[in-house]
Structure 1
Amino acid sequence: MFDEGILLESQSLRTSMTGHTEVLDRVKTLTLLPDDLHMTTRMVAAYFGVGIKAIRSLVVDHRQELEANGYRVLTGAELSSFKELSSLDKHTGRHLALFTRRTVLNVAMLLRDSVVARQVRTYLLDAESGQRSAPPVDNSVFHNLEKWLDARVLHHVEQRLAEWGPPETRNEARMRVLAEEAVRSAVGRAVVPLLNELIRSDSELRHRLAGHQEEIARLNKVLWERESAGSLAALDEMDHRAFAQHIAWLCRRDGCTGVTATAAPAGGGGHEGRIDVLGHTADGRRLVARCERRAPDATVTSTDVQAFVGTAKREHRAEAALLVSTAPFTRDALLRASRHDVTAVHRGLLESWNNGARLRVLESVG
């Protein structure tokens, strides 16, 4: 039995399970709109026992995946028509987000902080496990094949005997040839094609199973690493040296090579020319990072960014520059980072990165 957290990490695994919408009602009865097909954002939030903001935030992060499973936003004439058909309040607003059962199931596989969502994921994995343990072939197929072969052999024998004439003209050698021909004909027409198809299907299933096993092994490793890394609160408790080493580990996890955490002093305050992590991205670009371990209620300012730009870009010629902090960035700091092609890994982005998401700047650009 796999951990339900695997579904949070693997889009391919989520895609393979979007057809099991029946598990939603097994966990908690769905309340649908009058069309019996859709739910609103508020209804989805109520089903999972979370705030509306949590669902909207999930849509922002995974909109393309959700749209592939039926999520859409109605506006204009389409919205007016839907309100009339569904007897909705005409004053519901200028747009309306709609979730299908598949979309709701998709949300359940993505929503972390919901007891209902975790129960849905557990039911999904139970259902998948049950399918894997079910017998792959119905034995009645072989009984039907046996009857077909008997009929085919008998038909062939009768046809050949009719061609050979009266019984007195038949001898043992000719009867042996007849039996061999009948069996060979039946096997050639039915058994061989069936075996070929079984071999092809078995090869395909083995290939798919190997792919799933590799994916599951990778995800189990990610889950184990996440448990080892701990939460964002655990990062807050690290000293500067440990924090820099953890950021170096995240870079290596995402495919970077030759990554080292420099011997920065504990505390990490000041030291405008300090660089904490050096290495190369997976496609060979020069990686430079500075780690700012600050209190969550502090901020990273535009001055901090400017100081890092001078060190990373001019001295180290960074092609991928990360300014990582456990605190948020001010608006001016984010603007300056954007202008100088610096990735501002603020507290929120750091949490996502620590939880398994990948930084776009570290992905191959070739």
Structure 2
Amino acid sequence: MISEVVLLESRAMRDGVAERTEVLDRVKGLSLLPDGMHVTTAMVAAYFEVGLKAIESVVVDHRAELEGNGYRVLSGAELASFKEASGIQSRSRALALYSRRTILNVAMLLRDSEVARQTRMYLLDMEYTARAQRPADNSVENGGMSLSDHIDQRITHVLGTTVVPMFNALIESSGEHRRELISLREDVEKVTQRLCAHHVRLRNLERTQGPRPFTGIMASIDGMNWREFEHHVAVLLRRDGCTDIIVHGGPGDRGVDITGQTANGRRLVVQCKSFAPYRPVWSGELQKFLGASFVQHRADLALFVATTAFTPDARAIAEEHGVTVVDRAALEKWSAGVPLPVLD
């Protein structure tokens, strides 16, 4: 599953979700210029609630990527024509325009904005839901190639041998629409390059993936609601010798979900978080659990069990204060029958 960090760092991942511009409207209202298609740098900054320099910095660092997603700077006759058509009043000699796709691209690059972070979370939630709804096995072997690989290569072949040459011929014979045809040809070439890169990524992924000993366990856990997950953890605790296990989750749980005793008599408290894999446990959630576990419940052993990863800050707090974190990988092994060492 794509994580927020990977989305920030990987252009390939951003390209894969760049079409989901509807996510922008789920976060907050987006005002557009009179043409109904674009916004200015100032409008982008207002949307993300940051200063102009933050947006300009993103443009400087990622201009080629943004241009591939619709970023344009108008000047001269083109700017004059746009002002006349849209009714914009501006004395600037150049005007930067962002399409909805460009704005989403900025959201995937802008680190110091709560609105951008919320946009990424909504985006990842949509992608996670879409992937979860796809059939688990949609491959049809064709000489060692899956159906999706085969389709990708067929499309690449058609684009390279038919569509691009057709554009070349049209460009040579056209005068009035030459610029538009060149732009369209460049778009087709970009699609071809992305399909080729996608094919390479799939091949590399297949080479690096080895057999997983616990296949299917986390898929089952991801399908649980929060209450089912808490009872699943309770079953694991009892299996490992813990006694007096009580599930408290929900209103009035006083900050912990499960209490009990280990096999050697230590007082145990557990916090359970059933999050989507891309949503990590943050340091604030660890700090809240600290007060509940050691102050209110006087725990000898505190466990924080999650279906996802923990941020570095959260892990540091847990280590400093003696909280045992059970992340996605550890939960998978524990659920498969491997005892949790801290309960010994």
Query: Which category describes the TM-score, using the shorter chain as reference length?
Result: 0.3 to 0.5
What is the TM-score with the length of structure 1 in the denominator?
A: 0.40
Q: How does the TM-score come out when normalised to structure 2?
A: 0.43
Which one has a bigger Cα radius of gyration? 1
